[in-house]
Amino acid sequence: MQINLIKLISDLLMTFTRDNRLIEIIRVLISEAEISFNYFNLQMPDWLYKAKANASIASLEHHIKRELDVDVLITNLDGKPIDFLVTIIGFGDKTLISKIIDTYGLAGRSYVFENGDITYSCEFINHVCEKQLIDNLVTGVLTENLITVTSAHPVASNVTVTISVATESDNQILTLIIPHDQTTAVLTGTFASQDIANITDVNPNSDSLYNYIY
């Protein structure tokens, strides 16, 4: 029950004494009573539950779950010499569980603990293959009227090599394709030996076996 203490004090005072300063003084004087009253109301449901709880009307499994948030399974044994088995499902403090059983269980009953099976599961999310690819060096050579590109290993896919050729008059962008499982590609043209050729791109830059570097 929630109480508006200021209004209650004002209502209980005689009309001609309902001054704000007097109300505040009274409120300060009884502030501890307000705290105690609120604590009493907060704890009352738990006190009533514990006062009524015993082995005949309350399940120990439920009570342990309520108090410790631990799942247990209690199994009756033949009493020779143990009366029942307490199986802890997951993780739990046996000392605290024993305290609850001793408090609410039947007197004189013996029990032992057993840890239940714990099952873990996991799955990969957005996994990436960590296979180590081999670096495969691609080089290009320009001779008179001929450009040759070579890979160190036979390529695992068709690899397109882009070459920039600087001549005396202009720059040319040329492409050569190294066929799958081959190592070279050749392009003929009107090139001079003094022309400069540079590889600018290799596509794809990697495949199932190689990282293509240049």
Residues 139 and 208 occupy one common structural domain: yes
96, part of any domain? yes
120, part of any domain? no
Give me the average pLDDT of each 10-residue run along the chain (214 residues).
Answer: 70 81 81 80 76 60 84 81 83 86 80 74 69 86 88 93 85 91 89 84 90 91
Q: φ, ψ for residue 3 (rounded to 5)?
A: -120, 130
Distance CA 187, CA 147 (A): 5
Distance CA 86, CA 76 (A): 9
Residues 106 and 167 occupy one common structural domain: no
Residues 12 and 44 occupy one common structural domain: yes
126, part of any domain? no
183, part of any domain? yes
Residues 108 and 45 occupy one common structural domain: no
Residues 207 and 138 occupy one common structural domain: yes
Burial track 103-122 (b if 16+ CB lie within 10 A, e otherwise): ebbeeeeebeeeeeeeeeee
pLDDT score recorded for residue 138: 93
pLDDT score recorded for residue 57: 45
Q: Which residues span the domain enclosing 177?
A: 134-213
pLDDT score recorded for residue 39: 84
36, part of any domain? yes
- Distance between alpha carbon 182 and the CA centroid of its chain, in Å? 46
pLDDT score recorded for residue 137: 93
Predicted TM-score of the model (pTM):
0.40
Residues 141 and 204 occupy one common structural domain: yes
Those residues whose C-beta lies under 8 Å from the C-beta of residue 42, and which sit 6 or more positions away, are none
User: At 59, which CATH number?
Assistant: 3.30.300
129, part of any domain? no
Please tell me the total count of domains within the chain. Answer: 3
24, part of any domain? yes
161, part of any domain? yes
Residues 146 and 204 occupy one common structural domain: yes
pLDDT score recorded for residue 191: 79
Q: φ, ψ for residue 29 (rounded to 5)?
A: -65, -30
